[in-house]
Homo-oligomer: A and B are copies of this chain.
Amino acid sequence: MTSVDPAAPPSGPATLPLSEAKARIIDAAAALFAEHGVGGTSLQMIADAIGVTKAAVYHQFKTKDEIVIAAAQAELDRLTAAIEAAEAIMYADGGAGRAREVLVTRIVALAVERRRMESTLTGDPVLVRYFASHAPFRAIMERLYRILAGEDGGPEARTRAAMLTAAIGGAVMHPLVADLDDDVLRAHLLHLARRFLDLPE
C-alpha cells in the first residue's frame, strides 16, 4: 500500500559525547532549569553550582542558549529513539497501526517520566524558537508526524497529530493531574491517547 521511502530509514546515533567540563555544566544547568526555569537561571548560578567562575562556563559554551540547547538535546535523543523504534516496525511490516501504538506508548512514558522537566522543555521561548527554526529538530518532528498522521497529510490528520502531541506534553504538567501518581497518570493518558487515535483497546 504505502510505497517504500526513497531514502533508507535514518538511524542517526544520537549525539557525540561531551567533554568532562561540558558534561558537568549541562548536568548542573539541567537541574537548575528544572527548578528555576531557563529564564530564572543565570550563568552565575550554574557556575556557582559547580564551583567555577562565569568565565569558565562561558569558555565551554559561547552563549547561554548553547547550554540550554545542549541540555535539551539529551531529551530530544530519547524522543528520537522512540521514533526510530516505531519506524522500524513500520518499515518492517507491523503496519501503521502497530507503529502508532508503540510510538504513543513510548511518548506517554517519556512525558510522564519527565513531567517535572516538561514545562522547561516545551515552555521556554528560547527552546521554542530554536527548535522551530533548526532543521534537525524539524526533521525529527517530521518523522514523528508521519507516523501519527500517516501518508495522508490532510488537515484533519495533521490537526489530530498536533492535538495529540500537545495533549500529552501539556497534560503531564497540568495542575489538574498534579496529585496523580505517575502510574495512574500514565495509564489514563495512554488509554485516552489510544482512544483519540482510534487504536484498538
Contact = CB atoms under 8 A, between A and B. Distances in A.
A96 to B, nearest CB: 17
30 contacts: A39-B126, A119-B125, A123-B123, A123-B124, A123-B125, A123-B128, A141-B175, A145-B176, A149-B176, A155-B184, A158-B177, A159-B177, A159-B185, A159-B188, A159-B189, A159-B192, A160-B188, A161-B176, A162-B170, A162-B176, A163-B170, A163-B189, A165-B170, A165-B174, A166-B166, A166-B167, A166-B169, A167-B167, A170-B170, A196-B196
A192 B160 contact: yes
Interface in A150-201: 155-156, 158-171, 174-177, 180, 184-185, 188-189, 191-193, 196
Ranked 6 nearest A-B pairs via Cβ: A166-B170, A167-B167, A162-B174, A159-B188, A163-B167, A162-B171
Interface of A: 37-40, 119, 122-126, 128-129, 132, 138, 141, 145, 149, 155-156, 158-171, 174-177, 180, 184-185, 188-189, 191-193, 196
